Amino acid sequence: MNRLNARSWSWLAGLGVALAAGVYAPPSSAGSYVAINIGVAPPPPIYEVVPPPRVGYVWGPGYWIWSGPAHRHVWVRGNWIRVRPGYIYRPPQWNRYGNGWRFRDGYWGR
């Protein structure tokens, strides 16, 4: 009887591990980004003093973001971002796109 119980527990444990592995979804290493298209050019960047370097972090510079409810650009101050080994940080940026402007949020790329 004990042998049957040990087999049952082993089988249930294996089934639990298999189900957990099927549900687990690791974060994407390719990354994702947000793109916003508007017809209003962003103002020139605001000068910010970059603080001294911090080990394990990269400085993310400040940038303008479009605030839909306010119908204007709003400045987002720079901040420290934890380094991702093997990746390069690409800061947020505005680019001309057709007759308007397209914003691409910052992301980690290879």
Contact present, 78 and 92 (Cβ < 8 Å): no
pTM of the model: 0.65
DSSP, res 85 = T
**Percentage, residues of the chain above pLDDT 70:** 68
From CA 110, how far away is CA 70, in angstroms rounded?
35
Tokens of 2: 């004990």
- Please tell me the predicted confidence (pLDDT) of residue 33: 55
Encode burial over 56-69: b for 16+ CB neighbours within 10 A, e otherwise: eebbbbbbbbbeee
If you average pLDDT over every residue of the chain, what do you get?
Answer: 79
